[in-house]
Amino acid sequence: MHNLTIDPDRLWRSIMETAAIGGTPKGGINRLALTDHDRQVRDWLKSACEDLGCTVTVDEVGNMFAVRPGRLDVPPIAVGSHLDTQPTGGKFDGILGVLAGLELLRTLDEAGYETNAPLMLVNWTNEEGSRFSPAMLGSGVHAGVFDRAYADSRTDRQGVTFGEALDEIGYRGPAKVGSTAFGAMFELHIEQGPILEAEEKAIGVVTGVQGMRWYEIALTGREAHTGSTPMSLRRDALVGAARIIGAVEAIARAHPPGVGTVGLVEVGPNSRNVIPGHVFLTVDFRHPDDAALDVMEKALFATVEEAGRASGLEHALRQVWNSPAVAFDPALVDAVRRAADGLGLSWREIVSGAGHDAAYVARIAPTTMVFVPCAGGLSHNEAEATSYEECRAGAQVLLAAVLDHDRR
Ligand code: HGY
Ligand code: MN
Ligand code: MN
Ligand code: MN
């Protein structure tokens, strides 16, 4: 057994230092994928890893891999997560997993500790899917779920493509997508939900990730004068959207513990005295059981048909993302459980409500996650908060689980 301990002050300093990159006046972070802020934090990470003597390679969709050599020439054990954030993101979502991984590299380096397997720190491109949908695009390309051309073609709401933005920040690397070998992956992340805090558990032993599906809906009615158009002659796209938004909430509540959200709505022409002629909206459905998602999806399709008929709208609905429920590797889940027990930390098993790159990495290597609580279970919010002690405990469990696995 090792008695290595991470340096919690150094970890906390790194979290606060990088939080300034894209920091918002309310204390959150706005560091959308492939923006100049993303470039700055990538540069920060690259030089921190190179200072430790790691070799940093970047693949064709910007995924970053920093490798610390091991004693044996075997596929590396990976840690890490993502550096991009939501537009009103917090200081910990994604980057805690990357900086805890960096803290492991620093701790092992200081101790001159030689692992059997190389240790690799990963930053996955565009995990959030906020600027470029779908989410988990970089890890999805690595796992063969999407190809490089598909990723390059994704466009943001301003019409900028993923490929253009990646080239703009200079992070299209030479490594062929999917060519970086993985022996295993452990991803540390905040829970982003209320369970660990409510049950006063220090660690989430994550057994899997629930299923997730995203849809895009375009509704077309007819713009007309709000004053002179009788109600009976209207084709109001926003009234149709309102029906769908209400139905998404009802469909999710009818299939617990499923969740449903309309997060993005664009109305045109968005003028107070013009009947809205078109609306673009997105739907995010999640459920631990893929069969339940099938039922929810059918209900959504029926809803859009009905809204179209009732308001006289043309309507187009398409599924743009389907990430089935994932179960993590039992041996790695056990390593996390043993690590938490060995450190005397309370824990509970949990299925992730949020999506993570680990869900795709699990397709190509044994993978699992470690969760730590966040205040009020709040995330994707500038007030997102996780304590110094929770970050310390999470990074220490990550170290113990990685070294446990490395010795097996
Ligand atoms: O959508 C998600 O669950 C993740 O935050 N990208
Ligand atoms: Mn995340
Ligand atoms: Mn997120
Ligand atoms: Mn007029």
Which ligand does the CA of 98 lie closest to?
2
Q: Across-strand partners of 77?
A: 119, 184
**Residue whose CA lies nearest to ligand 1 atom number 2:** 355
289: pLDDT confidence band, cut at 50, 70 and 90? very high
Kindly give the distance from the C-alpha atom of residue 210 to the centroid of ligand 1, in angstroms, as a whole number. 11
Give the number of other Cβ atoms within 10 Å of residue 305's Cβ.
12
φ/ψ region of 339 (left if φ > 0, alpha if ψ in -120 to 50, else beta) reads alpha
Structure confidence at residue 173 as a pLDDT band (50, 70, 90): very high
Q: Is 82 annotated as a binding residue?
A: yes
End-to-end CA gap in the chain:
12
Q: Which residues does residue 55 pair with via DSSP β-bridges, in sequence order?
A: 67
Residues whose CB is less than 8 angstroms from the CB of residue 355 and which lie 6 or more positions away in sequence, other chains included:
129, 135, 136, 209, 212, 323
Tokens of 59: 């693949």
Cα of 244 vs centre of ligand 4, distance in Å, is: 30
Residues having CB closer than 6 A to ligand 1 are 127-129, 135, 354-355
| ipTM of the complex in this document | 0.90
Residue 238 has what pLDDT? 98
Instruction: Return mean pLDDT, the chain.
Output: 98
Residue 315 counted as an annotated binding residue: no
Confidence of residue 1 (pLDDT cuts 50, 70, 90): low
Residue 3 has pLDDT above 90, yes or no: no
pLDDT value at position 365? 98
Q: For 92-117, write each residue's pLDDT tens digit.
A: 999 999 999 999 999 999 999 999 99
What is the spatial distance between Cα 21 and Cα 44, in angstroms, rounded to a whole number? 10
Tell me which ligand sits closest to the C-alpha of residue 225.
Answer: 4
Per-residue pLDDT, averaged over 265-269, amounts to 98
DSSP for residue 44: H
> 164, 155, 279: which is closest to 223 by C-alpha?
279
Q: Mapping DSSP to helix (H, G, I), strand (E, B) and coil, where does residue 27 land?
A: coil
pLDDT band at 165 (very low <50, low <70, confident <90, very high): very high
Rounded to whole angstroms, the Cα distance separating 373 from 385 reads 9
pLDDT of residue 408: 84
**Which amino acid residue places its CA nearest to atom 6 of ligand 1?**
128
In whole angstroms, what is the distance from residue 318 CA to residue 299 CA? 14
Distance 127 CA to ligand 1 centre (A): 7
Q: Which ligand is nearest to the CA of 129?
A: 1
H or E segment to which residue 77 belongs: strand 77-81
Residue type present at position 336: V
The answer to whether the CB of 188 falls within 8 A of the CB of 394 is yes
Give the contacts of 29 (CB within 8 A, at least 6 positions apart).
Answer: 19, 21, 22, 23, 85, 89, 90, 91, 382
The secondary structure of the chain in percent helix, strand, coil, rounded to multiples of 5, reads: 35, 25, 40
Angle, alpha carbons 357-146-304 (nearest 5°): 90
Quick check: 382 and 89 in contact, CB under 8 A?
yes
Query: Which residue's CA is the nearest one to ligand 1's atom 5?
Result: 128
Q: What are phi and psi of 46, to 5 degrees?
A: -60, -45
Q: Identify the pLDDT of residue 371.
A: 98
Percent of the chain surpassing pLDDT 90:
99
Contact 61, 179 (CB under 8 A): no
Q: Read off the pLDDT of residues 338-358 as tens digits, 9 standing for 90 and up.
A: 999 999 999 999 999 999 999
Beta bridge partners of 261: 284
Stretch 15-30: mean pLDDT: 98
